[in-house]
Structures are given as C-alpha cells and as structure tokens.
Amino acid sequence: METSVPLTAFIFANGDRHDGPLVRQLLAEWPSAWIIAADGGARHAEVFGIPVQTIIGDMDSLTPEELAAFESQGAQLRRYPPEKNETDLELALLLAAERGVLRIRVFAALGDRLDQTLGNIYLFALPALRGIDTRMIAGKQEAWLIYPGENIIHGSPGDTVSLIPISGPVNGVRTAQLYYPLKRERLEFGPARGMSNIMQSETARVWLDDGILLVVHTLGRA
C-alpha cells in the first residue's frame, strides 16, 4: 500500500474504541483506505477485522509477540525512540500528510486521560494537515476544524452541531440551515455560545472571517 498514494487514511489511535453507527458506517469503506495504527491502536483495527498496513510509534504498547504477528500479516513497522517530541498519533498524522492523502479519519482517539484527549484534538491544527479533510470519529460523532471562508456540514435534519472556538475569539461567524442562527457574530474562547445547535436540512453552512472553530457533529439529538 505504501508504494502508491491512497486517497484516504484511516488511523487507529490507542484510546478507547468508542464503537458506534458512524464508526461502522465509515469502516465499511476500509478496503479503499490506507490503514495506519498508532502503536497500540493496531489492536482496535484487529477487533474490527481490518488488516493494518502500517504501525508507527515507539512500540511500547504492543508486545514483541503482537508486533511479530502483525508483521507476519503484512504490516510495515515504523519504529521511533520512546524519548521523542511527537506522540504516536502525531507521527501517524504527519506520515499520512507526507504521503499526500486527501482525507484522514481518526478512530479511538478519546480516552480516560483528558490531557491526551485534548492533545489529540489540537493535533488537527498541525500545519501539515491544512487542506486535508481530517476528522476524529467516535461512536455517533465526528469532529474537525474549520477555517475562514465557507464550510459545509453534511448530515440529517435533527442532527446536533456545536461550534467551539479553540484559537481565541472567532469573528464574523454566520450560519445557514441551523436552528439557532449566527449572524456575523464573535464567538469567544470560553462561553458556550455555539453549543448544541440543530441541523434543519441535510447540509448546513458556516462562514467565519478569522480564527478556528472545532465542529462537533452528532447524529441525531445529543
């Protein structure tokens, strides 16, 4: 797989699995995706019955026996020293970006460590990911970053959408086809002004003049 450029990379992190309808919907597309595991995330792919093509990280979460088994099944191992600046998930994201993929979906990136969860979300702001459709998938939710200009959210009427500033104030926020409209408003870092909106059609639109918003889209009412 690594000799050609895939359009999509599925990355399995080493957090909680968070299986659910959106996870299953996307994993049904796995034959066309490059399957990357961030170290122990290989176990999650195995549970879903998806063969891993690349395992990357310091390999401290997998036993030598597990690594040998994955390698015998065709996985390529990319080892890094334990004392490194990047997390294993960060290495996986940078590898996918370096290979020129157009779309990245990250599974099992949430867990019981708040620092790791927040850190994983902030990784989506890596400069290397700009222009790549990169989303975190958990249960019935997806989350991604949007930037100045027009942004389209695909879903169904009744789905829940939250718009959360993560880079400081976000100016000029406008929305269409959301129940609570925003009309060139300023969303501050802190207040919950953009939480729990509701899609009114199969697509909603969000425009912003500057800043970065985290979009959290939940299937149905959250």
CB atoms within 10 A of CB 85: 6
Residue spans of the domains in the chain: they are 8-139, 146-218
CB atoms within 10 A of CB 7: 11
Q: Are 182 and 207 in contact (CB under 8 A)?
A: no
CATH of domain 146-218: 2.60.120.320
CA nearest neighbour of 88 among 34, 11, 33: 11
Does 129 score more than 70 pLDDT? yes
Q: What is the pLDDT of residue 82?
A: 87
Q: Structure pTM?
A: 0.94
Q: Which range is least confidently modeled, 5-9, 157-161, 205-209? A: 5-9
Q: What is the pLDDT of residue 202?
A: 98
Helix (H, G, I), strand (E, B) or coil at 151: strand
pLDDT (mean) for 191-210: 96
pLDDT tens digits for range 107-124? 999 988 999 999 999 999
Query: From edge to edge, which strands make up the β-sheet containing 76-79?
Result: 76-79, 54-57, 33-38, 8-12, 103-107, 133-138, 141-146, 213-218, 160-165, 197-198
CATH of domain 8-139: 3.40.50.10240
CA nearest neighbour of 55 among 73, 75, 27: 75
Does 208 score more than 70 pLDDT? yes
Rounded-to-integer distance, Cα 188 and Cα 169, Å: 4
Query: What is the bridge-based pairing of β-strands 141-146 and 213-218?
Result: antiparallel
Angle at 27 between CA 140 and CA 128, to 5 degrees: 85
Both tokens of residue 115?
A: 């620092």
Burial state string for 198-218 with b = 16 or more CB within 10 A and e = fewer than 16: bbeeeebebbbeebbbbbbbb
Residue 75 gets which letter from DSSP?
P
Angle at 167 between CA 189 and CA 191, to 5 degrees: 10
Q: What is the pLDDT of residue 4?
A: 66
- In degrees and rounded to multiples of 5, residue 134 shows phi and psi of -115, 125
pLDDT (mean) for 66-91: 95
Angle at 188 between CA 205 and CA 207, to 5 degrees: 20
pLDDT (mean) for 47-52: 95
